[in-house]
Copies of this chain bind each other. A is one copy, B any other.
């Protein structure tokens, strides 16, 4: 029985024996909460120490430890949630967070995704098939050149066009100019084709200045943005989602060291739970078969967690990045289902005519689904 009023975190620990694993799990529950020697915990703080609820063998020298925590530890702080689950223990070894269950009382304190699958479908007017997101790049192009690329993607039928996450405010394409030109280009394509493609600029200023950039993008008509939670801080995503004004695609840059096999956070927890809890409407993750090592099973687990019931938080789009083109997309739709977004870049750029390449991909998706 797991008490649903508590936070449950499950870790796979490397340890030579059950006794060593239990000691490691208990140290962890102290390290992550009161952070004083166990004999120094004053009575009012004792309920804050986590409890090791179960310990099971999970392989040779590997143990699965279920720990529970009082949600009062979090208050309503996203950084403190990340801190509790993997803050100081990130600096130890042989600890992998493989599952998290958050009580409704805690989930209700976070705004969660403002749009989710349903909201994004409404914004771009597409039902019954996966969405296509194309990425405008590379850095070094002028705003006009990037806008031309956005135009071609939108005219070809992409549902979303996002900035490459490396587009900050480089001299070749300063932020303000770039966002204005790209948004205009997508609007122009929409007008010509009757489409409803969306342009999501990448915002890379954190802290205070972020809000200027958000308001600016909104004033131009942008309905959403691309944010990298690990570069901007996960709480930045929470704060943007709380305003309910911008849809959020989150990008996995700088997450990778968390994803290692023996020490870190399982991808379905990081992308599938935490990135949804902070308020992403779509979560970009490295797709199996692309340039980064991740298993198909992990990708399916991410998808499942992003769409599964989670308090009153909206279901959000898994955004599979990499390894997708017009030939292979029927396979991916069979694997992942319709409520998926495909992020395509290289496979389009490798073709000469971006508009035609996009049209072929969207056509292939339409023929492989109900849309």
Chain A interface residues toward B at CB < 8 A: 31-37, 39-42, 44-48, 72-80, 82-84, 86-93, 137-142, 145, 164-166, 168-172, 204-211, 228, 230-236, 238-240, 252-260, 263-264, 286, 291-294, 345-346, 349-350
Which residues of chain B are near A89, meaning CB under 8 Å?
256
Which residues of chain B are near A165, meaning CB under 8 Å?
83, 87
A239 touches which of B44, B209, B292 (Cβ 8 Å): B209
Complex formed: what's the CA distance from A11 to B314 in Å? 41
CB-based contact B35/A257 at 8 Å = no
Complex formed: what's the CA distance from A41 to B338 in Å? 32
Complex formed: what's the CA distance from A77 to B231 in Å? 11
CB-based contact A35/B260 at 8 Å = no
Which residues of chain B are near A346, meaning CB under 8 Å?
36-37, 40
A299 vs chain B, min Cβ distance (A): 13
CB-based contact B45/A83 at 8 Å = no
Task: Please give me the residue from chain B that is nearest to A32 by CB atom.
Answer: B166
CB-based contact A236/B170 at 8 Å = no
What are 22 contact pairs spanning A and B, CB under 8 A? A33-B138, A34-B137, A34-B138, A35-B138, A35-B164, A36-B346, A45-B140, A45-B141, A72-B170, A75-B168, A75-B169, A79-B228, A87-B166, A87-B231, A91-B259, A91-B293, A206-B233, A207-B235, A207-B240, A230-B230, A232-B235, A236-B236
Which residues of chain B are near A145, meaning CB under 8 Å?
42, 44
Task: Please give me the residue from chain B that is nearest to A90 by CB atom.
Answer: B256
A255 touches which of B31, B36, B90 (Cβ 8 Å): B90
Complex formed: what's the CA distance from A293 to B72 in Å? 30
Task: Please give me the residue from chain B that is nearest to A252 by CB atom.
Answer: B91
Which residues of chain B are near A256, meaning CB under 8 Å?
88-92
CB-based contact B207/A239 at 8 Å = yes
CB-based contact B34/A79 at 8 Å = no
